[in-house]
Each structure stands twice: as C-alpha cells, then as structure tokens.
Amino acid sequence: MTHLPPFALDHWLSAYDFATPPIAYNLASSTGPRWSVADLCALGDAPLAIDDAVLSYAPPQGSPALRHAIAAFHGVDADSVIATTGSSEALSILFCLGARPGANIVLPDPGYPAYAAVAQAWGLSPRFYRLERADGFAQRADAILAQVDADTSLVILNTPHNPTGTVMPRDEIAVLAAALATRGVPLLVDEVYHPLYFTAPQPSAAGIPNVIVTSDLSKALSLPGLRTGWLIDADVDRRARMIDARSYFTISSSPLLERLATHALTHSDAILDRLRAVAQANIAMLDALVAGSNGRLDWVRPDGGTTAFPWLADGRDSRPFCQALAAQGVLLAPGDCFGHPAHMRLGFAQQAEGFDVAAGRIAAALAAL
C-alpha cells in the first residue's frame, strides 16, 4: 500500500480555520476574498438561476459552455480544454499518465507540498530545482534544465509561484519549453494564481508549444468551494488519454458546479477586480510591516499571486511564532510545511477586512522577539 506523508500544511490550516470558533484573521490562506452563492449568482445583468439544474453527469471533458468560458479566459481554442475536479485532479491525471519505471519529475523548492507527495504516490521520483532567496526566489531555466535527465517525465513550473509570489515571464517560459521539447519532456505550467500581478501583467502560457497549463477557480478566482479546475493541452492524443483518465477517476464534474463555474468565468472581471482591490491594499500594509520591523522580518516582495514567503531574519524556526499568533487570532502558515522552517507563508488576499488589525498583532509579536 502506498504511504502518503502527513499533509502538514492542510493539518495546520484545518486545525485553526475549521475550529469553533474559527480563526479571526486568516493570513495563511492562499485564496482570494470569499464569495457566497448568492453573491456569485447576482453577477451580471440578470441573476443566474440554478434551481433547474439537472443533477446528472456532465461530459467527462466538461460541458461545452464551461470549456468555452475557460478557453476565453486563457485565450485558446475550447477544443484544447479539459475540465477537472480542481487542479488537484489535473495533477493526478498527469502524474498517472507520466508514470513509468524509474521516471522522475522536476519540481520547485520551495513549492506546493502536494506536488512531491502525489507524484511519489504515482511512482515518480521528485527532483528539485532550488529557488534561492539571494536570487529573489527567481525561477531560472538553467536551474530547471540542470535537474532534467533521460528519465524525466514532466517538469512543473508554478507562476505566479506559491508560496513566494515570483513570476517567470511568458517569453522565458517559451524558451524553457522549447529546450525541454528537444529532450521529449513536457512542461506543466501551474497558473492557479494567474492573472494577479503586481509588476508587468503576463499573458497565460497556454498556447506555447510543449506547454500544458493547469489552473482552477480556487486561487485567483477565489472560489475554492466550486472544486473546478482544468487542463489545457494542444496535443490531441494526450488529451484523449487525459479524458479517459478522468473518466476512471471521477467520471465528471457536477452539472450544478459547472453552471456556477461558467457564470464565474463569464464574469471573471468583477471577481478579479475585487481580488485586486483587496490584494493591493493588503500588500501595501505588508510593505509597512516589513519596513517597520527593525530588521526582524525580511521578504522578497511578491510579483504576483496571493502569498508571500517572509522569514525571521535571525533564522529561528517560525512555528512557535506562528503558534503564538494563532492564539491571538492571526493565522500564518509555518515554513516547515514547505521545508523551510525560518519562513512563513503569509496570504494577503482573503482577508478583505481587518488586515490592519492582523498586521498590528504581527508587528507586536515581532517586537517581542
């Protein structure tokens, strides 16, 4: 039986965010501000009606309406789109199809912890390219290619990156994808935080040769409860295998959730406008927090996405610090959940109100170190 390691990040989040009462200020979350079903349905000129949705199966590749909405969001043809149950299922599909004896997968470090755990469950050995603090956590093509060998089945690039917020520009992605193509290795670009950028906006990597894109509604689009994700791939044969895999894994999405997801994507501008307003206001408060910490807290300011990865400048383990803040109602994610104990993941896009209170409590805790 396959052994999955404890999911330390989810254990930490669940212990506090689903507690009674829940945490007051959740700065550990990587999502945007929350939406109710009523708020979502009210977007647009005419409210969305869902009471006539038939609770049957949907097509395994997703309904035509949903796939066209996803395609419009990324600027691609709808034929290249496959709906999935969140990006988590998308990853499992790709890892399953890429598994073979002795194969490996190349991943960022730090990075989303589920990459390595789920890849190993499918028999893929993780190889890591390091995002160096001294280099601003930049994702470099040369560092990625240095980890690729004859047994590499897939390379993952996450941009904007979780947890650091760094961004690889589209032209650099294209160069990397072309170099990998000469080795017969596809590049998966995880775009769940696209299109939230604080520097120059970047187009989606969808449509670049040798690139598969995955994304979902959970992060930049702030709707994790819809459990809707997707894969975008120009390779017809590989898409057919993905659809077969999805048919085995989950059969299809819920038609009800697909209708809500289609409506959300159709009105994504309104959702993203709210996200940007919250993120821009809160990241300005983070600028002030770091600047006023008297050198106790340092960071690389995110170029995009909803998370930052600051660290305690004296190098101490951040978990006791995060535990003390949680007792005061402020939740951060300790860096040991990402294999970097001095760091913390700090999400700044979900907390639409009270971020100033949370930042004040963090400042007071830093001053007491």
- Tens-place pLDDT, residues 143-170: 999 999 999 999 999 999 999 999 999 9
Sequence spans of domains, the chain: 8-37+269-367, 51-267
List, in order, residues 6 or more apart from 212 with CB less than 8 Å away: 94, 186, 187, 188, 189, 231, 232, 233, 235, 238
pLDDT tens column, 263-296: 999 999 999 999 999 999 999 999 999 999 999 9
pLDDT, residue 4, reads: 85
Residue 52 DSSP SS3: coil
- For every residue of 261-323, DSSP letters joined together read HHHHHHTHHHHHHHHHHHHHHHHHHHHHHHHTSTTSEE----SBSSEE--EETT---SHHHHH
Q: What is the pLDDT of residue 110?
A: 98
Per the prediction, the chain carries an average pLDDT of: 96
CATH number among 3.30.300.20, 3.40.50.450, 3.40.640.10, 3.90.550.10, domain 51-267: 3.40.640.10
Per the omega criterion (within 30 degrees of 0), is the bond before 126 cis?
no
Q: Flag residues of the chain having pLDDT under 50.
A: none
Rounded to 10°, the helix 255-266/64-74 angle is 30
Angle of CA points 173, 276, 213, to nearest 5°: 30
pLDDT digits (tens, 9 = 90+) for 172-201: 999 999 999 999 999 999 999 999 999 999
> CA 86, CA 174: separation in Å to the nearest integer?
25
In whole angstroms, give the CA distance from residue 225 to residue 136.
33
Contact 269, 196 (CB under 8 A): no
Could you tell me the end-to-end alpha-carbon distance of the chain, in angstroms, rounded to an integer? 45
Q: Which CATH superfamily is domain 8-37+269-367 in?
A: Aspartate Aminotransferase, domain 1 (3.90.1150.10)
